[in-house]
């Protein structure tokens, strides 16, 4: 079961006092000489994704052109179907109104 500690702060000097009075020896881990501080450059936003150029994608330029053409064709097909659906909906509404008269 977890409990909210309401902002409890444990200071190091408090911990040292408890450890010094404890019969259990404190183990000291030597600091690694290989730890490097993390560098942060303000001009770089680390949350932004890197934009990839055509050379990064691994897809030849010819394939990119084919994909663009296919994408355009599919978008036109969708627009035609949307237009047809709108026409059919209008026709249905007109027929329903005629049947009510």
Q: Would you say residue 32 has pLDDT above 90?
A: no
pLDDT for 20-31, tens place per residue? 665 555 555 556
C-alpha 89/C-alpha 96 separation (Å) is 11
Question: What pTM value is reported for the model?
Answer: 0.39
**What DSSP state is assigned to residue 27?**
P
User: What's the pLDDT at 41?
Assistant: 56
User: What's the pLDDT at 18?
Assistant: 57
pLDDT for 33-90, tens place per residue? 666 555 555 555 556 666 665 555 566 778 889 999 999 999 999 999 999 999 999 9
């Amino acid at each position: 079961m977890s409990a909210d500690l309401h902002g409890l702060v444990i200071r190091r000097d408090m911990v040292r006092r408890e450890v010094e009075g404890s019969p259990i020896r404190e183990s000291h881990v030597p600091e690694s000489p290989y730890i490097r501080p993390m560098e942060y450059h303000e001009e770089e936003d680390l949350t932004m994704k890197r934009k990839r150029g055509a050379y990064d994608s691994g897809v030849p330029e010819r394939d990119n052109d084919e994909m663009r053409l296919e994408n355009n064709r599919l978008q036109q097909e969708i627009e035609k179907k949307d237009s047809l659906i709108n026409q059919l909906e209008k026709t249905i509404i007109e027929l329903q109104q005629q049947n009510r008269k």
